[in-house]
Amino acid sequence: MLNPQRSFVRPLLAWHEANGRHQLPWRDPDRSAFDILIAEILLQRTTASAVAGAYLPIIARYPSPEAVVAAHPEAVERRIAPLGLAKRAEFICRSAERLLARHSGDVPHRYEDLLGLHGVGAYTARSVLIHAFDEDIAAVDTNVRRLISRFFDVPPDSDALADLADALAPTQRGSEFQHAMLDFADDVCTARTPQCEACPFRERCRSPVYED
């Protein structure tokens, strides 16, 4: 029987250390919880490469909920407009208002409170908990679902997949593990043309993709 930590988690973390997208600005360990919340909202339905160029100017102009609320909503929208989906400016403005009204301007560290922020769903809330508060859980999007489904031969629509992802998250390395899953799924375990020949999991992956 496979030991998931030895067969999946440790090799994935090793791959990420050598190949991960460490230069992405929101992965700087000095980012505040509010910086991370802004990043997670901006990354919704948008590629990391698209957000990377706009992120630093946005958080420089709006480093806190107070700065967002003090700005005119149209000004926030203009700064986010190059990313498309201008509705996220509304998400940021309304979330900042709620942070000030309900949480003294602090990003909450309870899942239910994060879900109360405008535009924050289950994936975004979990990502904030992982990256801002060091929670040892996983956030499952399409890419993570594909990776875990293939390696462990679990149906991608299975309710058990999210629980499995949580169980895999290593103690005190949840943020790194989440980044590793996202980067590996984007670079190697892709949706249409997975790079199976270069995959470090080739001998242990249970996916039928590997069958000759």
pLDDT digits (tens, 9 = 90+) for 157-188: 998 999 999 999 999 999 999 999 999 999 99
Pair (78, 99) in one structural domain: yes
Structural domain for 117, as ranges: 31-133
- In the residue annotation, 40 being an active-site residue is answered as yes
Pair (129, 165) in one structural domain: no
Pair (101, 184) in one structural domain: no
Examine the fold and report which residue of 93, 110, 133 is the final residue of a domain before the chain moves on: 133
Q: Are 107 and 128 in contact (CB under 8 A)?
A: yes
Pair (129, 142) in one structural domain: no
pLDDT digits (tens, 9 = 90+) for 115-162: 999 999 999 999 999 999 999 999 999 999 999 999 999 999 998 999
Pair (15, 99) in one structural domain: no
Pair (172, 201) in one structural domain: yes
Token representation of residue 111:
């899942």
Distance between CA atoms of 200 and 62, rounded to whole angstroms? 41
The pTM of the full predicted model, rounded to 2 decimals, is: 0.93
Domain total in the chain:
2
Mean pLDDT of 39-63: 93
Residue 210: count other Cβ atoms within 10 Å of its Cβ: 16
Distance between CA atoms of 153 and 175, rounded to whole angstroms? 24
In a domain, 26, yes or no: no
Distance between CA atoms of 103 and 27, rounded to whole angstroms? 24
Q: What CATH number does residue 188 fall under?
A: 1.10.1670.10
Examine the fold and report which residue of 88, 110, 133 is the final residue of a domain before the chain moves on: 133
In a domain, 25, yes or no: no
The residue from 40, 66, 77, 97 that is catalytic is: 40
Token representation of residue 192:
């249409």
Examine the fold and report which residue of 67, 99, 133 is the final residue of a domain before the chain moves on: 133
Q: Quick one: pLDDT at residue 2?
A: 66
In a domain, 212, yes or no: no
In a domain, 93, yes or no: yes
CA separation, residue 57 to residues 46, 51, 81, 83, 188 (Å): 17, 11, 13, 13, 31
Pair (114, 99) in one structural domain: yes
Q: Which amino acid belongs to residue 1?
A: M
Number of residues in the chain: 212
